[in-house]
Amino acid sequence: MAKPFSTSNNASDIARLADRCVQCGLCLPHCPTYQLDRSEAESPRGRIAYMKALAIGQIMASDVGDRHLDHCLGCRRCESVCPASVEYDDLLALAREQQYLRKPPPYKFKLLAGVLAKPGLVGIAGVLGRASGQLPKLPNSGFRNESRPGDQTGKVAIFIGCIANAYEANTRLNLQKILNAQGFSVLPANGQTCCGTAATSLGDGRTAGALAEKNRIAFDNGITVLSLATGCHEQLSRSLQNQNTVIDALNFVSRRSGLLKFKAANKKIALHIPCSQSTVVKSDQALRQLLAMIPGLEIQELPDRGCCGAAGLHMLAEPDRANRLRTPLIEKIHGTDVSELLSSNIGCRLHIANGLKIPVRHPIDFLAEHLA
């Protein structure tokens, strides 16, 4: 279950959480940054040791140590295999809050996080990003919320987010089409904003908390909220805890898959499963089951490399490392005749699309296109 935000910067919390680590090293082979550098300092165990040593005053913070902390992708592969149940995600959030206080991130990333927190500015930034070739083109869009507030039986809301506001407009329309085929309609939820993942990854717990509060107000009618971006899901679940049920759109749709019929697709596609989808949201099985309902579809699932390198702002903060993590995936696709790639997280799609010439879409777009 999602846990509420921690607003504490208390070093004793870090020490207590870090104490759970028995230093067995079982997480090391699963950590993408350890795989990349083969260095203890780039492993979960090394980062936990650094966080704890700082928290108990054993060492002073150093640029080198902080840099290894910055390299963490927050993919939580370590947490998912840890036999001692180390709550690495909470530990990382607390350590980054402390890091933010002693050494604020570069101004450009604070600025970017500030832009993401204001959906209107995201649109302008998107235009600039596309004009400079840093961001892929937008898909066609025509999303409208056609339902009106009222009785909420058979009604859901869709979380829009920040950069997805423009990039997933078409996907939201397609999700609405699938939901309509299952007897659901979509209620508008005005006033919603960024989930706060970018702010949290910078260690800016105050901004993340303010965004959470704004989203709580936007969804204060208690409606079920569907998330489309697996990277936003956990943070949104925390924000709306005890108020709304937050469900990944693919999990929600698959529960009523018997109401859907698909036409044949005699083609071959590639499928990318984001780390946030397999380790946190756990909607990868639902996705595979839905795609298996499309007759004639051949799916090549990309190998699990831990993380594609997107990881929130990591692809912007550490482009070389992000590209090194992405390269094996790109090479795997280049050697095939797949016509497109599907991925359920917007950050991964933007990052991977920048290295490919084939279309990269959300699976919901593909499913809606093949509705019979």
- Number of residues interacting with ligand SF4: please give it, by CB under 6 A: 25
Nearest distance from C-beta of residue 57 to ligand SF4, angstroms: 21
Nearest distance from C-beta of residue 311 to ligand SF4, angstroms: 8
Considering only 41, 44, 346, 360, the residue that binds ligand SF4 (CB under 6 A) is 44
Among 7, 19, 81, 71, which residue's Cα sits nearest to residue 48? 19
Query: Does residue 52 interact with ligand SF4 by CB under 6 A?
Result: no
Token look-up 């699932």 returns 301
Q: 173 in helix, strand or coil?
A: helix
Largest distance between two CA atoms of the chain: 64
Query: Does residue 75 interact with ligand SF4 by CB under 6 A?
Result: yes
For ligand SF4, the closer CB: 26 or 293? 26
CA–CA dist 105, 152 (Å, integer): 43
Nearest distance from C-beta of residue 215 to ligand SF4, angstroms: 24
Considering only 14, 41, 47, 99, the residue that binds ligand SF4 (CB under 6 A) is 47
Q: What is the DSSP string of 198-249?
A: HHHHHT-HHHHHHHHHHHHHHTTT---EEE--HHHHHHHHHHTTTT--EEEH
Rounded to 5, what percent of the chain is helix, strand, coil? 50, 10, 40
Residue 156's DSSP bridge partners are 186
Q: By CB under 6 A, which span of 39-47, 134-142, 245-253, 356-364 interacts with ligand SF4?
A: 39-47
Contacts of 44 (CB under 8 A, 6+ apart): 27, 28, 31, 34, 78, 82, 86, 88
Nearest distance from C-beta of residue 246 to ligand SF4, angstroms: 22
Cα 289–294–298 angle (5° rounding)?
90
For ligand SF4, the closer CB: 205 or 312? 312
Joined tokens for residue 330: 């790109």
Within residues 84-103, the interface with ligand SF4 by CB under 6 A covers: 84, 86, 88
Considering only 76, 233, 272, 305, the residue that binds ligand SF4 (CB under 6 A) is 76
| Contact (CB, 8 A) for 97 and 9 | yes
Burial environment of residue 154 by CB neighbours within 10 A (0 to 12, 13 to 18, 19 or more): exposed
Considering only 26, 138, 265, 358, the residue that binds ligand SF4 (CB under 6 A) is 26
CA–CA dist 346, 361 (Å, integer): 9
Contacts of 278 (CB under 8 A, 6+ apart): 284, 304
Nearest distance from C-beta of residue 160 to ligand SF4, angstroms: 27
Considering only 3, 4, 7, 24, the residue that binds ligand SF4 (CB under 6 A) is 24
Amino acid at 289: Q
Query: Does residue 127 interact with ligand SF4 by CB under 6 A?
Result: no
Helix (H) or strand (E) holding 342: strand 341-343
Nearest distance from C-beta of residue 18 to ligand SF4, angstroms: 9
Q: By CB under 6 A, which span of 28-36, 122-130, 231-239, 341-349 interacts with ligand SF4?
A: 28-36
Query: Does residue 349 interact with ligand SF4 by CB under 6 A?
Result: no
Query: Does residue 77 interact with ligand SF4 by CB under 6 A?
Result: yes
Contacts of 29 (CB under 8 A, 6+ apart): 35
For ligand SF4, the closer CB: 39 or 339? 39
Query: Does residue 17 interact with ligand SF4 by CB under 6 A?
Result: no
Nearest distance from C-beta of residue 295 to ligand SF4, angstroms: 37
Nearest distance from C-beta of residue 35 to ligand SF4, angstroms: 9
Considering only 78, 166, 178, 269, the residue that binds ligand SF4 (CB under 6 A) is 78
For ligand SF4, the closer CB: 33 or 147? 33
Residue 227's DSSP bridge partners are 248
Q: Residues in the site for ligand SF4, rule: CB under 6 A?
A: 21-27, 31-33, 44-45, 47-48, 72-78, 82, 84, 86, 88
